[in-house]
Amino acid sequence: MQYEAITVEVHKELNFLKATWHKQPTSDVFRKYILEITDYALENGITIALFDVRQRGYMEFGDQNWSMKEIFPRLQGKVKKLAYLINLKNLQHMDTIRLKESIANSPLLTKEFQIELFLEHEEALKWLQE
């Protein structure tokens, strides 16, 4: 799937989805694509996913809260691992770290759902396949 702001690759035989952001989306665009990707993943049995957010820059605080409330609970019991590929600039914004900590501390999400942050593509893929 190719969109203006994001490319999505799917490997159904591995139950794997990779989404690569190409630029910073508006909040509306972010939410539209994340909903479409989530629906696709759930309908097609995707259990592991990699989001390359190095070109995205940051996630608006409202979008972080929306993701925690609307998206991550839907993944419960279906998606097992989600890796974020970030760069040091992303790390400074702390948005993906906040999501990771919120998921780890959420009583609504079991420990079956794991999220990790990576600076290297190969390390992210290795962790997803463990």
At 45-58, the pLDDT tens digits run: 999 999 999 998 77
Cα–Cα dist 42/65, whole Å? 21
Q: Pull the structure tokens for residue 128.
A: 């997803």
- Per run of 10 residues, the mean pLDDT along the chain (length 130 residues) is 88 96 94 96 97 87 88 90 85 55 56 83 96
The DSSP symbol for 14 reads: G
Instruction: Write down all domains in the chain, each with its CATH number in brackets.
Output: 6-129 (3.30.750)
Cα–Cα dist 17/7, whole Å? 10
State the pTM of this model.
0.83
